[in-house]
Structure 1
Amino acid sequence: MPVVTFDRNDLDALLGQKVDLETLLERVPQLGADVHSYDEATNSLSIEFFPDRPDLYCVEGAATALRAFLGFEEGLKRYPVTDSGIILKAEESVKNVRPYIVAGVVRGVSLNNAAIKSLMELQEKLHITMGRKRAKVAIGIHDLDKITAPFTYKAVNPDSLSFVPLAKTECMSMREILTKHEKGKAYAQLLDGKELFPVILDSNDNVISFPPIINGALTTVTENTKNIFIDVTGTDLNAINGALNIVACALAERGGSIQLVSIESSSKFKTPDLNPKTKDITVGDVNSLLGCNLNANQICEALSKMGCDSQIIGDIIRVNISATRMDILHEVDVIEDVAKGYGYENFGNRLPASQTFGSELSETKASNVIRQLLIGYGYLETTTLTLTSEETQFKMMRLPETEVVSVLNPISEDHTCLRVSLIPSQMALLRKNKHRDLPQKLFEVGDVVIDAVRHKRLAAVNISVKSSFTEIKSLVESILRDLSVKYEIQSSSSEMFIPGRGAEIVSDGKIIGVFGEIHPEVITNFELRYPVIALELDVEAVTEGKLDRVA
């Protein structure tokens, strides 16, 4: 979860009054956060906020929430918004590159070193979390006085445009930035396969931003910056609007005045849109979910402490919620705010009115019993990735290819699909440990994915000079005996086994597993030099009603 570090003096200045440390340590967790640490030497407080509250990822947003929560300034915080007269035109060329853009202006901002640091940290935390490392949302913050409106957002040939990127003095083309600039190298994959790259230009063709990679050095924000232009691009219009609202309101807390920018694309609209979201709840629903007996006025008081305005309309409470609250998606989210505003400490410590007794799922119970058995048989438990490759699953195992769940954009040729069998994963593990002493007895209780459905399997392998079919057959019989499974053994035609030395396990007319001696060609494919025996068992097939004796 994101950890935000506040300078206590800066926080107190934004709160409008000094709050003692004891109060902060006691009340902040009730807001939905954990106090990470307090550094007395620097008088700084680090708070770990839950991922669902990106509006709290900066000292400005936290101060806004705390003013309401501590009773200093309850209710919905409203920021006056005027029109900047600035137009940003989004051309059709960006539709297949990075389709959405919103923007805003904040004038009269008072910035010091702490404010700039907070702004940059907010930007980066939003990139990492709701921005999915800039893939979904990328934010640009610029000194408005260094550029001239109107602005244009379009896609261009990456070799046709050069500019000085942020934190550099050398002019580079957009393609060069992806190979020379630190941020370019870090986020180059976001533009993989794109023939055109997105760019924001001012009316003099100065580069404002190369989203989602880097801003131009021209618009660097400093302590002398008074007027700020914010651009947010991405693939989700709701997400970029939310990010813009959060940044704009944070700057407004620094004394700035928010102004609208006209976005002209296939449709025309103005941003940021700070109109409150509205949700309707009822007293009955609140008390039913929270187990309380609150009246409408008490609910409204609780919501006021969470920065919301509310109005009682008959049996309904209409709640106005800040446009920065990305976490409010449903009426139950509003009711959660009621619980926080009312105070968890006021719920008491009564035991639940009804008692329920949990128990292990049969599949989990079987998995745990199987683990105990295999460890008792002298096998070492392993865990391998569910991601694998078709080559490992089929070609190296001498098996015909079947349908698998494939990865759309694999990061390596070894992780292109989800496995349908565990034995190949164990064979790959033996290959990685071929320099170790023999024998090696390994097992795994893990997932396979067949027809897009997850299944639990057991696989065990044994590599040694004397590994034989008799040994693996004895292991299978011991496991099934201890699991009280009725079964039959029949010959297997699987080509991963030596002909005549592979078998299938049949229970209630269904094949629930296979075992045998691995074929020499498979052993060679995995760069091994000694006999290998293996088994694979469907754990789900031995869960229902077959564990009474070992339980």
Structure 2
Amino acid sequence: MHRYDWLCLKGLAQALRVFNKQEETPQYSLRNISRGSMLKMHVKPETSQIRPYVVSAVLRGITFYEASYNSFIDLQDKLHQNICWQRTLVAIGTHDLDTLEGPFSYEALQPSSISFVPLKQVKNFRADELMEFYKSDLKLKKFLHIIENSLVFPIIYDSKRRQNVKFECTATDLTKAKIVLNTMVTIFSAYCGKKYEVEPVEVIYSNGESFVYPDLSLYNMEVPLSYVNDSIGVALKAEEVL
């Protein structure tokens, strides 16, 4: 079993403190709000052509310091390199919700019809122009192939048709998207005003189906004793395994 929360210093340090009984195991929870009060993410049918899934969540009252913010960015990068398969399966977006206004829409449009000012730039680019611009970017050019030959590009708008949302993962693999979302929000909910609380978001598809994310429910797993011993290199008896 992979522990993706160990990919960043914050997650690894927390796991060690819990293991050494220096702190209690975190009890994560969803903010108690009605479905009608949740932020909405409406998914347009055209997204099925490129990245059909999106999951989303909100962290309220979050306070970052330099070290915790760097860990936050580092975890996104590590997840993109690992479970996200270099962003081919899942792409993570995190943004300042205070500058946005819901409801949100997840769409897939022709590149020539998408335009915005990208991060660290001052010029407005069409999406097709941006692909050319980033071909000289040492960090980003390796990801261009994921969508550059697609007839449509995925994009998220708020109600003012600005292009950010607090936490979202667009994906071709829904299971991995949910794992990535849960990993991000649980680790960094430690910095929220109400510690370990995550605000859910309702995702509504064009066929009428709707889902609430994230799913933080606990579940039991049954594994053979040999799997436990082989995984951590020990020889415990059944009664010694907690």
> Which of 137, 142, 147 is 1:191 aligned to?
147
Contact 1:287 1:294 in 2 (8 A): no
SS in 2 for 1:241: helix
Greater Cα shift, 131-140 or 55-64 = 55-64
1:259 alignment partner, one of 199, 203, 210: 199
Change (3 A) 1:288 1:116: closer
Residue 27 (structure 2) aligned to one of 70, 78, 86: 78
Aligned position for 2:16: 66
> Cα offset for 1:57?
1.3
| 1:276 match | 218
Gaps of at least 5 residues in structure 2 are none
Alignment of 1:187-336 (within 5 A): 187-208=143-164, 229-256=166-193, 257-265=197-205, 266=207, 267-281=209-223, 291-295=235-239, 298-300=240-242
Please point out which of 95, 111, 116 is paired with 1:163: 116
- The 3 A distance-change label for structure 1 pair 115 and 292 is closer
1:42 aligns to what? none
Does residue 57 of the first structure (1) align with residue 7 of the second (2)? yes
**Equivalent pair of 1:178/1:184 in contact (CA under 8 Å):** no
Q: Distance in 1 between matches of 2:23 and 2:191?
A: 17
> Do the aligned residues in 2 keep the contact of 1:97 with 1:198 (CA within 8 Å)?
yes
Between the aligned partners of 1:252 and 1:177, the Cα distance in structure 2 is: 33
Assess, with a 3 A threshold, how the Cα gap between structure 1 residues 288 and 199 changes in structure 2: closer, same or farther. Answer: closer
Q: For 1:304-330, what per-residue CA distance to the aligned partner results, in whole angstroms no more than 9, with x for missing partners? A: xxxxxxxxxxxxxxxxxxxxxxxxxxx
Closer, same or farther: CA 253–95 of 1 in aligned 2, 3 Å: same
**Count of residue pairs the alignment pairs up:** 228
Q: CA deviation at 1:72?
A: 1.9
**Secondary structure class of the residue paired with 1:249:** helix
Please report how far the alpha carbon of residue 237 of structure 1 lies from its aligned counterpart in structure 2 after TM superposition: 0.5
CA contact (8 A) 1:104 1:260 kept: yes
User: How far did residue 277 of structure 1 move?
Assistant: 3.0
> Residue 144 of structure 2: SS of its match in structure 1?
helix
Match of 1:397 in 2: none
Q: Tell me, yes or no, if the aligned pair for 2:95 and 2:167 is still in contact at 8 Å.
A: yes
Aligned to 1:105: 58
> 1:153 aligned to 106, 113, 124, which one?
106
2:154 partner amino acid:
P
Q: CA RMSD in A?
A: 2.4
Contact map agreement 1:177 1:184 (CA 8 A) in 2: no
Q: Deviations over 1:141-166 (max 9, x none)?
A: 10000010100001111111211111
Secondary structure of 1:253's counterpart equals helix
Distance verdict in 2 for CA 1:136–1:283, change over 3 Å: closer
Q: Aligned AA for 2:76?
A: Q
Q: CA deviation at 1:284?
A: 9.4
Structure 2 residue identity aligned to 1:272: P
Q: Provide Cα deviations, 1:442-479, integer angstroms capped at 9, x if missing partner.
A: xxxxxxxxxxxxxxxxxxxxxxxxxxxxxxxxxxxxxx
With over 3 angstroms needed to count, the CA separation of the structure-2 counterparts of 1:287 and 1:293, relative to structure 1, is farther
Q: Identity of paired residues, percent?
A: 30
> Residues 159 and 286 from structure 1, CA distance in 2 versus in 1: closer, same or farther, beyond 3 angstroms?
closer
Using the TM superposition, give the Cα deviation of residue 282 of structure 1 relative to its aligned residue in structure 2, in angstroms: 7.0
- Calculate the TM-score normalised by the size of structure 2: 0.86
1:380-438 deviation line (CA, Å, top 9, x unaligned): xxxxxxxxxxxxxxxxxxxxxxxxxxxxxxxxxxxxxxxxxxxxxxxxxxxxxxxxxxx
What residue in structure 1 maps to residue 76 of structure 2? Answer: 123
Distance 2:24 2:238 in 1: 19
Post-superposition offset of 1:60:
2.4
Contact 2:49 2:152 in 1 (8 A): no
Amino acid across the alignment from 2:89: K
1:95–1:121 distance in 2 versus 1, CA, 3 Å: same
Query: Given that residues 61 and 192 in structure 2 are in contact (C-alpha distance below 8 angstroms), is that contact kept between their aligned partners in structure 1?
Result: yes
- After superposition, the Cα gap between the structure-2 partners of 1:281 and 1:159, relative to the gap in structure 1 and judged at 3 Å, is closer
Say whether the 8 Å CA contact 2:59–2:192 is kept in structure 1. no
Quote the offset at 1:124 in angstroms.
Answer: 0.7
CA distance in 2, matches of 1:106, 1:81: 10
- Please identify which structure carries the higher helix content: 2
Aligned equivalents of 2:9 and 2:235: distance in 1?
Answer: 34
